[in-house]
Amino acid sequence: MAHKAGFVSIIGKPNAGKSTLMNALVGEKMSIITPKAQTTRHRILGIVNDENYQVVFSDTPGIIKPHYALHESMMSQVQGSIVDADLILLMTDVNEKHDEQDVVKRLQGSQAPVVVLINKIDQSDPEAVKQKVTYWEELLKPKAVFAISALKFPNTSHLLEYIVEQMPEHPPYYEKDALTDRNDRFFASEMIREQVFKQYKKEIPYSTEVVITAFKEDETIYRISAEIIVERESQKNILIGKNGEMLKIVGTYARREMENFFQKKIFLEMFVKVISDWRSKKNYLKKFGYED
């Protein structure tokens, strides 16, 4: 059987029951919950592993405070986790009276399929639940709507099965057994990648891959070396910028994020390397974890 793996972003208001749902979904199969508040594209809540699949559930960073001040960066992060997702779970409370416009607006730019979860149906009556289901079907035309009670009827196996069905074929993103060094490397590369997305125009990020070539942990400092790989000389020049200015900016921000994340001093060195058309070369795709 082909292995499936993907990212599922759970979005919704803070009290909608996301963590209760996570606990129900992840249950005994939980292998990783990262306690670190993530600063990268995915704030990972939990990873569900099975022989044939790996589902990475991530939370959107403090997405939707009903009265948020629109921090550009925060929102671009939310947008990022919506763009990156293979599936979006929109968690909503059956008794939710708040305006969900802000959520809906966020979702309009997304290509990822949306599944609406109407939670806390144990606190409601069948008629109200039915109305809510209809409301969401009309508003979002989602791929599916599930009415659940994450707390009272935590048997969410049918929901998990549905989620797994939606996942693309892909090798696992994380080691299946433990929080290993590989994860820290992954997070480090994500933080560099995030800055590449933030600092450059469209075509650069998509032809860029970040590879951590060394990750040395000492008591007080992590020494990290990274290669940023691009497809063409011209992209390399843009990445580095005049007198290396652009790369310096990326490095500064990425290092700051890492220090925050790892709670250690970080020494970061970055090199830019051209591998022409790496995206169409099987061996590189494999090396960078895109191919089985």
C-alpha of 264 from chain center = 23
62 labelled ligand-binding? yes
Closest CA to 57 of 23, 104, 92: 23
**12 has binding-site annotation:** yes
- Flag whether 122 is marked binding: yes
Binding site annotation covers 4? no
Is 15 annotated as contributing to ligand binding?
A: yes
Residue 144 assigned to a binding site:
no
Q: Is 17 annotated as a binding residue?
A: yes
List, in order, residues 6 or more apart from 202 with CB less than 8 Å away: none
Q: Is 16 annotated as a binding residue?
A: yes
Establish whether 18 is an annotated binding residue. Answer: yes
The answer on whether 152 is annotated among ligand-binding residues is no
Residues 6 or more apart in contact with residue 131 via CB below 8 angstroms: none
Q: Widest CA span of the chain, in angstroms? A: 66
Measure the CA–CA gap between 132 and 136, rounded to whole angstroms: 6
59 annotated binding-site participant: yes
Query: Is 121 labelled a binding residue?
Result: yes
Q: Identify whether the C-beta of residue 56 lies closer than 8 Å to the C-beta of residue 47.
A: yes
- Amino acid at the residue 53: Y
What are the backbone angles phi and psi of residue 265, rounded to the nearest 5°?
A: -75, 140
Matching residue, tokens 């939707």: 64
> CA 251, 255, 261, 262 torsion: positive or negative?
positive
On whether 120 is known to bind a ligand per the annotation, the reply is yes
CA dihedral angle for residue 111, residue 115, residue 120, residue 122, rounded to 10 degrees: 170
| 19 belongs to an annotated ligand binding site | yes
**Under the phi-then-psi rule, with left for phi > 0, alpha for psi from -120 to 50, and beta for the rest, what region is 17?**
left
Q: Is 251 annotated as a binding residue?
A: no
Q: Please check if 14 is assigned to a binding site.
A: yes
Q: How far apart are the first and last CA of the chain?
A: 12
Binding residues: 12-19, 59-63, 119-122
Q: List the binding residues for GTP.
A: 12-19, 59-63, 119-122
